[in-house]
A and B are shown apart, each in its own frame.
Chain A
């Protein structure tokens, strides 16, 4: 039996190789090699360009711990990641539920399209359109003042809320998509059974729907949290003077001061912290699921 299984899997692997090869070749060339170069850089004192002297050092990693600046920023970025993920759940999950369980046919397709639409537009275009909406004398300000009987002053531009709004807008489709897939897979008869056994709507949500759609929620949260923690474009453009985050400092190291070793070290510290958080969260979330 064991032998049979072994040959079976071997037979299964060999024909599968040509199918796997392009993906792994691509991963090796496009991700693994540059990433290992970056690991290498992060232990160097300087880039070996134009005959500059360099040697190996742990100094770039030590820099993170020697100044409170980087830790403060990392915490701020983690908070940003949590808040954006939370808002994506609050906004995205109900939408996914309606898409999966309430709407059918044409109307579902139409709403789905609206959800996906932000994906098809360029990130910079999205951010600059937010800039037009959020600023003082912008679209939001003018519209609200035209409708409301009293005068209010809306100037959200260059503030922390603006960063949150921009990021939530960019990332909410991930949450809708992942939750939609798991919610759609829930058998309607389970919901009917629950109802017929006298469960209230809230009980149904808590005991049946959320647990069954947990994998989607977790996948969505991970997909959103990780890039948001390292984001730099949205904070820089929408955040103004409050827009300094861990991601913008890494960008500065690469673009503004040409300190690639420090930038690489900061990136890998971020990667490590994010991995630790995901690893710690995994068992808790799995139990919840």
Chain B
């Protein structure tokens, strides 16, 4: 009685162990860390990529850049591809969270706009730590039902007519930079924090709630609870194209914050070849055109991808216009010291609402 039971136990263990090693060997998986609903997790895109390469895509998501960094720090070796805002690339590299990328493996890399590919935020010591993917704006978006004619000024957010129907993102850096634009300052070199604070303090009573994901924003518009708020250009496009919501983007005359999103390969990735294939697919014009048409997206960093869009497409006509280029300010890296200062200000503002 005893022996068979032991044998059975051993067999069971052996089966388990081999199942695990099998799972580990079948690691032709590409683990991707990105915002939810941001291109990399589109079912058709994943299916196309998997069919073309044989890799399996496993998506994981974050709700803030800090959460993304936390996930990289606490799960070394889990992710193969991570989407990082260029302004955070520095910090990820300094924390040894990402590794240099061999761009010769990416056939589409040569088509990336030179100013984006050569960005000092993504290149360190002559090595490439991030492949520019898309860029866009943190500007304003409006609920079309609440406006006869789209506003042109950022001051619309402070209009008493919209009291309790304004929304901004719960993010200290974004809020402070938005305050800098509203007070006519350079977002990367804020001289007068007092002015930013005063602007944001007077904005607080206007606010309905804070948003943290696209879904929050879209739901507020769908239930007609807001008129205007800060939003990302790609998300506004997606809300309109994909979710058929009455949302349109406004690039205020005072300016807007521009950001560049790039793909990196985390240090300790178990599938670098798969990661390279995935990144190359993400910057491919074919993927981009399909993404814009089906879902809505920010502006591709790949010049050929933008040229593949119709002449009058928003991402080509408006976002590519020199007049808009003059108004926008690209986000530079924020130091830990600045971030803590911004967070303290933001928390103070939120507490004083009580």
Contact = CB atoms under 8 A, between A and B. Distances in A.
A67 B343 CA distance: 13
Contacts of A252: 343, 347
A240 B166 CA distance: 12
Contact of A69 (B70, B73, B351): B351
Interface residues of A, number: 27
A45 interface: no
A241 interface: yes
Contact of A137 (B208, B223, B340, B354): B223
A216 B191 CA distance: 59
Contacts of B348: 69
B347 to A, nearest CB: 6
Given A50-B96, A69-B351, A244-B351, A257 B339 contact: yes
Contacts of B343: 252, 257
Given A135-B223, A241-B204, A244-B347, A256 B64 contact: yes
A137 to B, nearest CB: 6
A23 B283 CA distance: 54
B210 A240 contact: yes
Contact of B354 (A51, A76, A135, A255): A76
Contacts of B223: 135, 137-138
Please tell me the size bucket of the interface on B.
20 to 34
Contacts of A69: 344, 347-348, 351
A158 B96 contact: no
B73 A49 contact: yes
A184 to B, nearest CB: 41
A238 to B, nearest CB: 9
B64 A255 contact: yes
A200 interface: no
B225 A240 contact: no
Interface string B74-108: 10000000000000000000011100000000000
B292 interface: no
11 contacts: A50-B97, A73-B351, A135-B223, A135-B225, A138-B223, A158-B208, A158-B209, A241-B208, A244-B350, A252-B343, A258-B66
Interface of A: 47, 49-52, 67, 69, 72-73, 76, 135-138, 157-158, 240-244, 249, 252, 255-258
Interface of B: 63-64, 66-67, 69-70, 73-74, 95-97, 204, 207-210, 223-225, 339-340, 343-344, 347-348, 350-351, 353-354
Given A73-B351, A137-B225, 15 more contacts: A51-B96, A69-B347, A69-B351, A72-B354, A241-B209, A241-B350, A244-B351, A244-B353, A249-B347, A252-B347, A255-B63, A255-B66, A257-B66, A257-B339, A257-B343
